[in-house]
Amino acid sequence: MRRHHSTTPRLTRVLGSLLLVAAAGAFSVGAAPAPRAAEPAPLDRVVPAPASVEPGGAPYRITAATRVRVDGAAGFSVRRVAAYLAGILRPSTGYRLPLTEQGEGGIRLRLAKGSFGPEGYRLNSAPDGVTITASAPAGLFHGVQTLRQLLPAAVERGTVQPGPWTVAGGTIEDHPRYAYRGAMLDVSRHFFTVGQVKRYIDQLALYKINELHLHLSDDQGWRIAVDSWPRLASYGGSTEVGGGAGGHYTKADYREIVRYAATRYVELVPEIDMPGHTNAALASYARLNCDGTAPPLYTGTQVGFSSLCVNKPVTYDFVDDVIRELAALTPGRYLHIGGDEAHSTSHADYVTFMDRVQPLVAKYGKTVIGWHQLTGATPAKGALAQYWGLDGTGAAEKEQVAAAARNGTGLVLSPADRVYLDMKYTKDTPLGLSWAGLVEVKRSYDWDPGTYLPGAPASAVRGVEAPLWSETLTRSSDIEYMAFPRLPGVAELGWSPAATHGWDAYKVRLAAQGPRWDALGITYYRSPQVPWPTG
C-alpha cells in the first residue's frame, strides 16, 4: 500500500529541486573537460547489454564527408529513423550528414530479411562504414540507440564539439529478451504536460524501453478528456496533490503523445484505475456514488478510500463510455484497468466488477492489463497481471499470482522494492517515498525476472515495468532524479539475455552513461555504488 511520508512544504521542496539542478549544472560546468578519448568506447560498453558482441577490426570515423544512407526502396519509417539519427549527430559534430540513397560507406540503415525479430538488429562497424540492419524499423531505431552509446558522450550535446567521432570496429547482434519493457508515469498525483511526457519518452527510448504506461486517473486527478462525461477532466482534473491547478490532456494532446511515442517505437498503455482510486470521478458526478452525493476533490496522499458503486447500472454505462473513448484514442494493444488497493470495495463486489468490466475492454478491441490484485478475481483470457509485491509479500498472495500465471495469465513484473522508481535511494534522498524500502541502484538491478516469482513459469513473464508514482514529484528534473540511474537497469533486465547479467560489469557500463546524461541535461542521482568517471 502506498503511504505518504511527512510532507515537505511545497516551497522548500521547490527550492531543494532548484538547488539540485544548480548543483548538477555547476558540476558539469566546473569539471575539467574530459581528456580526448584516444580510443573509441569498447563495443560492449552499451546499456542494455547486447545479446552478442564481437569486437574486431579497425574503427569507423564519422567525418564532414559522412552521409546517412538508406536504400532507394526504403519507406517512410526507415527514412524517419535515418532523419532522427542525423538530427542527433548534426548539432554536436557540426557536419551536414545528408540523407542519401547514393554511394558507398557512411552510416547505412537497411531492412533485410533475417532472424532479427520485430525489434532486433545487427550493427557492423568497419573503416568503410557502419551498417545497421534489421527486419523492421523498430530494430533500426534500437540499433541507432546503440550507435549513440558507441560514440563519445559529447555527441549528445546541442553545440559543436571537437570530436573525433569514432566507433569501435566489430559486430553487435542484438534482440530483446522480453517483448514488454515498460515505464509508468503517474500523471494523476501531479500532472505533467505533453512536453514533459515527450521528454521522458525520449529518455526511455535511449534504453530501448518500448511501453509507456500512463496512470491517467486516481483519487487526486482525472487527466484525459472524455466527451461523454466532460466533468471528469474539467472538474476531476482541476487539482492535484498539494492543491495545485492539475490539468488534463485534451484528445488532441493525447493523440500527440501517442504520435510522438510511435516515432520512438514506444506504445502507450493508458490506465484508468478502477474500482478504487476513483475519487476524482466520484467528485465529478454525484450519480456515480452509491449515496448519490459527490465527495469533495482530494489533494492528499492516502489510498484505498474510494470505490465506484459496483451495484449501480450507471457505473457500467460510465465504464463503457470511458473505455470506448479511450480505446478509440489508443492504437496500442493494451488498456490498463488498475484494480489495486480496492480497500473500500468488498471482495465479492470486486469480483463482480472485474467480471463486468474486462469484457468491455475486449468489446473495444483491447487486451486487459491490471495490477496483480486482478488475479484475486478471474483474469480475462489473454490478460496481463502487473505484479507490484515485495520480497516480503506473503506466500499466499505470491501463489495467487503464480497460479494465475500457470493458468495462462501473462505477467509484467514491477516489484516495488526493486523497480518502483519513486522509492528513495537512501534515507537522505530529497524526493520520493519509502514504504517499500530504500532502493539503491544495485538492489534495483540485481534480480532476475525469469525466476523472480516462485511457482510462476518463466514463459508467463512478458517483461518488466518501472513505475514512477508522483506524490512528491512536480518537475521533469524530479522525474529524472528518481529514474536515473535506476531506469537503465530495469531496461537491461527487460532487454538483455540473463547470461549477460552481472553487477560488476554493469556498473562500469552504467557509469559511462553519466557523461551522456550531463550532455543531455538529464538530472541524476550520483549513487556512490557507481564508479562515475571523474575526468
Burial annotation 507-520 (CB, 10 A radius, 16+ → b, else e): bebbbbbbbbbbbb
524 touches ligand ACM (CB under 6 A)? no
By CB under 6 A, the residues from 385 to 414 that bind ligand ACM are 388
What is the phi-psi region of residue 521: left when phi exceeds 0, alpha when psi lies from -120 to 50, beta otherwise? left
* Catalytic position from the list 240, 267, 341, 465: 341
CB of 424 to ligand ACM, least distance (A): 15
CB of 265 to ligand ACM, least distance (A): 26
* C-beta nearest to ligand ACM: residue: 340
Nearer to ligand ACM, 130 or 412 (CB): 412
CB of 273 to ligand ACM, least distance (A): 8
Instruction: Decide if 325 is catalytic.
Output: no
CA angle 61, 65, 68 (to 5 degrees): 80
What is the phi-psi region of residue 182: left when phi exceeds 0, alpha when psi lies from -120 to 50, beta otherwise? beta
341 touches ligand ACM (CB under 6 A)? yes
How does strand 461-468 pair with strand 410-413? parallel
2 touches ligand ACM (CB under 6 A)? yes
218 touches ligand ACM (CB under 6 A)? no
By CB under 6 A, the residues from 311 to 330 that bind ligand ACM are none
Cα(116)–Cα(174) distance, integer angstroms: 8
Nearer to ligand ACM, 47 or 423 (CB): 423
CB of 388 to ligand ACM, least distance (A): 5
Nearer to ligand ACM, 206 or 342 (CB): 342
Nearer to ligand ACM, 173 or 341 (CB): 341
CB of 353 to ligand ACM, least distance (A): 17
CB atoms within 10 A of CB 140: 29
**Which residue, chain included where needed, has cell 506504445?**
267
Cα(193)–Cα(195) distance, integer angstroms: 5
Looking at residue 96, its amino acid is R
CB of 147 to ligand ACM, least distance (A): 36
Nearer to ligand ACM, 133 or 220 (CB): 220
CB-count exposure of residue 338 (10 Å: 0-12, 13-18, 19+): buried
Nearer to ligand ACM, 219 or 340 (CB): 340
Cα(167)–Cα(149) distance, integer angstroms: 9
Looking at residue 398, its amino acid is K
Q: Give me the phi and psi of 171, to 5 degrees please.
A: -135, 135
**Which residue, chain included where needed, has cell 532524479?**
481
- Rounded to whole angstroms, what are the CA distances from 275 to 31, 278, 281, 310, 343? 52, 7, 11, 8, 10
| 498 alpha carbon, distance to own chain's centre | 21
By CB under 6 A, the residues from 448 to 507 that bind ligand ACM are none
Q: How many residues bind ligand ACM (CB under 6 A)?
A: 5
Nearer to ligand ACM, 146 or 301 (CB): 301
Residue window 354-373: x/- pattern of binding to ligand ACM, with contact defined by CB under 6 A: -----------------x--
Cα(247)–Cα(240) distance, integer angstroms: 8
Nearer to ligand ACM, 3 or 259 (CB): 3
CB of 340 to ligand ACM, least distance (A): 4
Cα(226)–Cα(491) distance, integer angstroms: 33
What is the torsion angle, in degrees rounded to the nearest 10, for the CA atoms of residue 347, residue 352, residue 355 and residue 359?
-130
Residue window 233-262: x/- pattern of binding to ligand ACM, with contact defined by CB under 6 A: ------------------------------
CB of 420 to ligand ACM, least distance (A): 7
Assign 32 to helix, strand or coil.
coil
- Residues in CB range of 76: below 8 A, 6 or more apart: none
340 touches ligand ACM (CB under 6 A)? yes
Nearer to ligand ACM, 44 or 211 (CB): 211
CB of 416 to ligand ACM, least distance (A): 6
- Rounded to whole angstroms, what are the CA distances from 418 to 254, 422, 489, 493? 30, 11, 10, 11
Cell of 163: 570530436
Instruction: Enumerate binding residues for ligand ACM (CB under 6 A).
Output: 2, 340-341, 371, 388
Q: Which residues are the active-site residues? A: 341
